[in-house]
């Protein structure tokens, strides 16, 4: 159970990446019925730590704080790919894994995990700018340069900057379920789940501005997921040729109309499995899959489990 979280910082830490971990795990949201984590920031290099933004901060805890953490987060920092790391920090990270804790890196924090040997024979994510350097420096790991995060439990690595939010919410989703993760995301005003990689292939689009040319069509599509539609029909609704519509859709959402609809249908199925007692057949009809077999196939392809298993996991004894 995820209850105790510690973020460990070095000189030159990036304020934003540290703030991502603080925002997800360090804010008391009990007024929304959300869990409160025992959160702290720990320093690996003394009580006063410099930041990449030019200011310093006082840190109350040292490395001893990591010994009780269920999750240890290592935010990014300046020159993390070309500096030495305190040996005691590397030992503390290894001890954390040995006793069953998870370790998370945000952006270039992955270099610390790699130096500790936690990524040997594992896949990992990093900001695209650092992918080549990481692969050259640590040949035993495998860099996935086009993803937002990689979960090689108990080691989770995320790509640049905001991808740390995705990784943190992913951990919450694994531990406390999608409802908790979604509520935290809503409080943070971020999408609860982004699919795709650093090229921003986001199949669940962010809120759109009035200048988006396919925005109204997206709203219509989401309200009619149970209907079969063609690109030609969508293009007509957008007052474009099918070719122009397909190009604009790709530019503004990072995916095709078919893949967008498919992902939205799976997301709707997830919500119905979590929050209703409807049968899988009924949910298949409401989500446009037509029958339980088709829903099961796409659900397994996308989520990695069956609708029945998903419902049992996230509804427990309440599952119909």
Q: How many CB atoms lie within 10 A of CB 28?
A: 11
pLDDT of 193: 66
Q: In the CATH scheme, what is the code of domain 4-188? A: 3.40.50.880
SS3 content of the chain, % helix, strand, coil (to 5): 50, 15, 40
Instruction: Name the maximum alpha-carbon separation found in the chain.
Output: 63
Q: Output b/e per residue, 280-311; b: 16+ Cβ within 10 A.
A: beebbbbbbbeebeebbebbeebbeeebeebb
> pTM for this one?
0.65
- pLDDT tens, residue by residue, 8-36: 999 999 999 999 999 999 999 999 999 99
Q: What is the pLDDT of residues 99-144, one digit of tens each?
A: 999 999 999 999 999 999 999 999 999 998 898 899 999 999 999 8
Where do the CATH 3.40.50.880 domains begin and end in the chain?
Answer: 4-188
Q: Which CATH number fits domain 203-320: 3.40.50.1220, 3.30.70.1350, 3.90.1150.10, 1.10.10.60?
A: 1.10.10.60
The CATH 1.10.10.60 domain(s) of the chain lie at 203-320
Q: What does the block give as tokens for 172?
A: 């919450």
Q: Residues 290, 296, 293, CA angle at the centre, nearest 5°?
A: 50
What values do phi and psi take at 124, rounded to 5?
-155, 165
Those residues of the chain that have pLDDT short of 70 are: 193-213, 314-320
- For residue 61, the 8-state DSSP code is B
């Amino acid at each position: 159970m995820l209850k105790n979280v510690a973020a460990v910082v070095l000189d030159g830490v990036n304020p934003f990446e540290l703030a991502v971990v603080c925002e997800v795990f360090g804010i008391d949201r009990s007024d929304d019925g959300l869990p409160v984590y025992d959160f702290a920031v720990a320093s690996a290099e003394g009580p006063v730590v410099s930041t990449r933004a030019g200011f310093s901060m006082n840190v109350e805890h040292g490395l001893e704080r990591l010994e009780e953490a269920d999750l240890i987060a290592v935010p990014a920092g300046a020159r993390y790919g070309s500096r030495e790391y305190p040996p005691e920090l590397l030992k503390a990270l290894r001890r954390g894994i040995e006793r069953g804790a998870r370790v998370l890196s945000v952006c270039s924090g992955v270099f610390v995990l790699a130096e500790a040997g936690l990524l040997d024979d594992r896949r990992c994510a990093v900001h695209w700018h650092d992918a080549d350097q990481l692969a050259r420096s640590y040949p035993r790991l495998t860099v996935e340069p086009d993803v937002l995060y990689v979960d090689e439990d108990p080691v989770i690595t995320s790509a640049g900057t905001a991808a740390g939010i995705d990784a943190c919410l992913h951990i919450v989703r694994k531990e406390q379920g999608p409802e908790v993760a979604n509520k935290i995301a809503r409080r943070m005003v971020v999408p609860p789940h982004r699919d795709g990689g650093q090229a921003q292939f986001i199949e669940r689009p962010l809120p759109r501005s009035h200048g988006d040319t396919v925005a109204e069509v997206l709203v219509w599509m989401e309200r009619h997921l149970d209907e079969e539609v063609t690109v030609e029909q969508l293009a007509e609704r957008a007052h474009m040729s099918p070719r122009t519509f397909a190009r604009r859709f790709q530019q503004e959402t990072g995916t095709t109309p078919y893949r967008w609809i498919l992902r939205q249908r799976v997301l709707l199925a997830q919500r119905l499995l979590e929050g209703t007692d409807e049968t899988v057949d009924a949910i298949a009809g409401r989500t446009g899959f037509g029958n339980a077999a088709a829903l099961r196939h796409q659900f397994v392809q996308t989520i990695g489990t069956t609708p029945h298993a998903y419902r049992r996991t996230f509804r427990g004894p309440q599952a119909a």
